[in-house]
Structure formats: C-alpha cells, structure tokens
Chain A
Amino acid sequence: MLCLLVQVTFAQKAEEQDSVTVKDRKPDSLKVKFYPRSFRVGTDLLSIIKSQTQKTFSGWEVNGDVDCGKIYFSVDYGNWGRTYDLPNAGKYENHGTYWRVGGDINLLKKDPDRNMFFVGFRYGRSSYNELATIVLTDKYFGDIQKQISNDAVTAGWGELIAGIRVKIWKEFWMGYTARMKFAPSVKGDDEIKSYDIPGYGQNVKGFYWGFNYQIFWRIPFVKQKKSTPTFPK
C-alpha cells in the first residue's frame, strides 16, 4: 500500500513536470519601445488668421512634440494680446506670454505613417499685464473715470485635450486640437479682476473651451526601416 502511494505521488509529479503552462506574453519584437523617434515643430494657424482678421486679438503660438512611441511629450509657447472697447469710451487691453507642457497618448497604434488620434493633458502658465480705462456715472459722486492696471499677473490652469495629426506629404503634417480648460488660478489681479488670460481665455468659473488648427514639420531622429516584402521559395 505504501509502495502504491509513493508510486502515485511520483506519477503525479512527473505529470506536472511534463505539462508546460503557456503564459500569454508578447515577444520583445512586438512591444512598442520607449525612445525618442522624432521631433515635430509647428504653429497654430488659427492664431495667425485671427491676428489678421480680428481687431481685438493679436498673437501667435509655436508647438513642439517628441514622439516616444505610444506617448508624445509636448510643449507649446505663445504670445497673446487682446483689446476691447468698453461702454462710455472705456477700454480694456492685455498682453503677455504663456506656455503649456504635457503628454499625449496615440490611440492609433498600428498606423504605419504614425498618424495620430490622441488624448492628452496639459498644464499651462501665463505671465501678463492688463490695463483698463473705466468710465462710470454715479448719481451722487458724478462721472467716474479711472485708469487702472495689473502690472504683473500670473495664472495657471489644466487642460484635457483631444485631436488628430495626419501626415500630408513627406514630413509635413496637419492637425487640430480641442481643449477643455479648467481650474484657472490667478495671482496679482489686485486693482482689477483679471478678465482675459493669455493662452486660456476669459477668467470665468467652469470649463473654457479652445481649438487650434496646426501645421507641423517632422524631424526624424532615426530613419524608419521600410519593410521589404519577402516571397516564399
């Protein structure tokens, strides 16, 4: 009985050793490796068009991103100025610069040209000044005309973004970005509550939406290997 028990035990162990558990694992050749493949530099066409066509806006924006496989690291820098006429010959104007940094995830994993449909996040900051001429009329204190300025205002905010980048020709790319901006935090607006934040938009509660249409030029770090077809012998 004891010999039978021992034999059954060894038989079970041998059976365990013979059977091989196959784990589902991607081979290294199919994993997207994380390293910088290219750098793209571009600009926002809408800012340039608005500067030429709208009297209330002047500005430009430069965009850059680094392709690291699935993830793209992005930096934007811009210049922005707004001028508004207020009632009773009043005026508001602001001028400043801003930058954004963040990352995007490309949801198109298998596109050979590395076209993108992406979602991402940005953190933005702005430094600017504001000047306003206010004209009000009070029944007892008469006409009130005052020029007030915020000389050194800073603001920060977050953005959730989505967009596309499409290869048009060789290294020339085009795309657009939709931005849901939130949580603006402003410091230095003591004289007048900050009205317009460069890079963000109006300083209001809730979400603020933005849209860019961009052109890019891609500078590859490594040459992409062209896949040559192989025919069976």
Chain B
Amino acid sequence: MRFFLAGIIILLLSTCLSEPDCLVTATNNLRISLKNGGTGTAQKALFSSIKVSGTSATFFSTDSVTTLILPVDPLATRTTFKFQYGTVLNSKPVVRTDSITVTYATQIVIISPTCGAAIYHTNLTVSATSFVIEPKVVNSQLSTRATSNIEIKL
C-alpha cells in the first residue's frame, strides 16, 4: 500500500518537471512546386515579378527555380498571387502572366505563456486561377515540415 501511494506521488511530481518545448511548426509560408504540364517532372521558371495581396513587397527570383516559397496573409483567409515569369515549354521560350488565389482557415494557438502564440493555416484550397491547368493542393496545411503545398503545372 505504501509503495502504491509513493508511486502515485512520484507520478504526480514527475509531470511538474516537464516544461513545454517552444517547437512551433506553424508558418505562413506557402510552398509551390512547378511541374511540366506534359511530363509531370520539375519545371524551371524565372520570375521577374510576384505580387502578393496584403503586402507592398514584390518578390522575384534571380535565377530559374522549380520551387517558390511565398507568404500568405496571416490574418486573412485568402491571398492572391500574381506571377510574371518566363519558362521554356516544348523547346520554345514563353513569357506569361498568371494568378492564383488560395483560401485557408486560420486558427490562433497559444503554445505556452513563455513561447507565446502561433497562427496555424489549414484547409488550403485553390479558389481561383488563370493557369491553364488547375493547380493541385498536395498538402492543405502550411507547416515548416511540409515540402510542398501546391503543384502548378506550366
């Protein structure tokens, strides 16, 4: 009986020793993978201008890339991206302007009084696009661990 009671007390006290880690996977970065519309393989493109709704910042790439990491508006439920880009399709250089609007759910989570709060974005969907092939959502949650959220086929 004494050992049983001692065991309960030790279990109770052990929970007091564990502090929450400030390991936060929340992010407002959207990861876009570029794919060839015909073969499905990675497709490079050079972006001269990317405009994001909610911010005056303009993004661009200095070199051709196959992946884009762009921020979504953290307190909104939708963000629109406008791309000006050049790529090579069927051995022909192409310059295009396209846009995509994504919608998502936003939930604020308090990690701990020490770590503070973080904003999680989930239920990602493509609500509008001008790309010929509809972009595909491969991971609907924005996370630091996600390798890709949306695939755009050029």
Contacts and interface: CB of A to CB of B under 8 A. Distances in A.
Nearest to B117: A134
A101 to B, nearest CB: 23
Contact size class for A? Answer: 20 to 34
Given A88-B116, A141-B74, A146-B75, A192 B110 contact: yes
Interface residues of B, number: 23
B interface, over-half SS: mixed
A171 interface: no
A193 B109 contact: yes
27 contacts: A86-B110, A86-B113, A86-B117, A87-B114, A132-B117, A134-B117, A136-B117, A136-B119, A138-B71, A140-B52, A140-B55, A140-B57, A141-B54, A141-B71, A141-B74, A141-B75, A146-B108, A148-B108, A162-B8, A178-B8, A178-B12, A191-B108, A193-B108, A193-B110, A195-B110, A209-B11, A209-B15
Interface of B: 8, 11-12, 15, 28, 52, 54-55, 57, 71, 73-75, 107-110, 113-117, 119
A134 B108 CA distance: 9
A211 interface: yes
Contacts, number: 62
A90 B117 contact: yes
A87 B74 CA distance: 18
Interface in A45-100: 84-88, 90, 92
Given A136-B74, A193-B109, A211 B117 contact: no
Given A192-B110, A193-B109, 19 more contacts: A84-B113, A86-B110, A86-B116, A92-B113, A134-B116, A136-B74, A136-B119, A138-B74, A139-B71, A140-B55, A141-B55, A141-B73, A144-B74, A144-B75, A146-B108, A178-B12, A191-B107, A209-B11, A209-B12
